[in-house]
């Protein structure tokens, strides 16, 4: 299989936090998520809860805050691009 990714993926370990958060705007509720893998250009997340996942949102991961967009969605597992 030929993987044509632009960036190398990193799976969370002891040095990369597994927990993250997303929110659409400062007044919207925060949604907890688990980071499955992350790269310089995006991430794969599992989003907790049943609330609809916004198309554009802020992704918080450790001390990093990234403006992000939803690229794909399979149930509660999503791919995002920063």
Beta carbons of 34 and 65 less than 8 angstroms apart:
no
Tell which residue, 55, 53, 81, has the closest CA to residue 66: 81
Q: Where are the domains of the chain?
A: 1-42
DSSP state of 42: E
- Provide the 10 A C-beta neighbour count for residue 23: 15
pLDDT tens readout for residues 30-82 = 999 999 988 889 999 999 999 999 999 999 998 999 999 999 999 999 999 99
Q: Identify the pLDDT of residue 10.
A: 56
What is residue 11's predicted lDDT score, i.e. its pLDDT?
58
Which has the closest alpha carbon to 60: 77, 39, 35?
Answer: 35
pLDDT at 1 (0 to 100):
46
Q: What is the pTM of this model?
A: 0.78
Of residues 69, 16, 21, the one with CA closest to residue 39? 16
pLDDT one-digit tens code per residue, 2-25: 556 565 555 555 555 689 999 999
């Amino acid at each position: 299989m030929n993987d044509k990714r632009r960036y190398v993926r990193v799976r969370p370990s002891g040095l990369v936090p597994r927990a993250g958060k997303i929110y659409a705007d400062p007044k919207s509720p925060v949604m907890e998520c688990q980071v499955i893998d992350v790269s310089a250009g995006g991430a794969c997340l599992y989003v907790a809860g049943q609330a609809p996942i916004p198309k554009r949102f802020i992704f918080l991961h450790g001390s990093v805050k990234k403006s992000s967009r939803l690229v794909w969605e399979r149930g509660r597992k999503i791919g995002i691009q920063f």
